[in-house]
A and B are shown apart, each in its own frame.
Chain A
Amino acid sequence: SQQGEEDPQALSIQEGENATMNCSYKTSINNLQWYRQNSGRGLVHLILIRSNEREKHSGRLRVTLDTSKKSSSLLITASRAADTASYFCASHPKAAGNKLTFGGGTRVLVKP
């Protein structure tokens, strides 16, 4: 079964607004990571949150993790047109060696 399902699948907002996307996963994890992908390019790591952490910040990014609900959220504050991209969560399951399992992604469009 697919780990890491994102919600919503697509999001359209105005510049300056906040963007929130959610991710659910199915099994126990070591950590959960968020990546960004611009159209036609590879993924770029944004932030990692460990299973014993509940919240983490990096610049305009805020990530939360709720292991009891097996869910995470990514908040981008004060969005910019350059934030337009697809955002993927990736879970690192405890029983899966060293590989990450990616969700289907949230496509974010920030309109100027």
Chain B
Amino acid sequence: NAGVMQNPRHLVRRRGQEARLRCSPMKGHSHVYWYRQLPEEGLKFMVYLQKENIIDESGMPKERFSAEFPKEGPSILRIQQVVRGDSAAYFCASSPLRGQGDEKLFFGSGTQLSVL
């Protein structure tokens, strides 16, 4: 049973370009979370999605950032017109559908985004 798969592992973009980060949750998991981590800091919540629905996007900037989790295929975090401040590690996590509020998260290895 493969874990949470994120790709690419490293992504280099120039200012103004678009970054697309992909996340395939663990088999059987229908909840996906995206977090951002700056060096030497903790993870900051960005967005929580279920299949075809955004449940909570309170941590995601209103402009340039978007996320989706289509019925088929991976979840995508898209950052348009990237700026240097977007440079960070972006982690995806998944959890199974139980809704009891005590699920642990399973994390991918992250995508390190570097904006030149």
Residues of chain A whose beta carbon lies under 8 Å from any beta carbon of chain B: 4, 6, 30-31, 33, 35, 40-45, 48, 50, 88, 90, 92, 97-105, 107
Contact = CB atoms under 8 A, between A and B. Distances in A.
Interface stretch (B11-19, B37-45, B69-77, B80-88): B37-45
A101 B48 CA distance: 12
For the complex, would chain A's binding face be called helix, strand, loop or mixed by DSSP majority? strand
Interface of B: 4, 31, 33, 35, 40-45, 48, 55-56, 91, 93, 95, 99, 101-110, 112
Given A40-B112, A42-B91, A43-B91, 12 more contacts: A31-B101, A42-B109, A48-B104, A92-B102, A97-B56, A98-B56, A98-B101, A99-B33, A100-B105, A102-B42, A104-B41, A105-B42
B14 to A, nearest CB: 23
21 contacts: A4-B42, A31-B101, A35-B107, A41-B109, A42-B4, A42-B107, A42-B108, A43-B93, A43-B107, A45-B105, A48-B104, A92-B101, A97-B48, A97-B56, A98-B31, A98-B55, A98-B101, A100-B33, A100-B45, A103-B42, A104-B41
B32 to A, nearest CB: 11
A43 B44 CA distance: 13
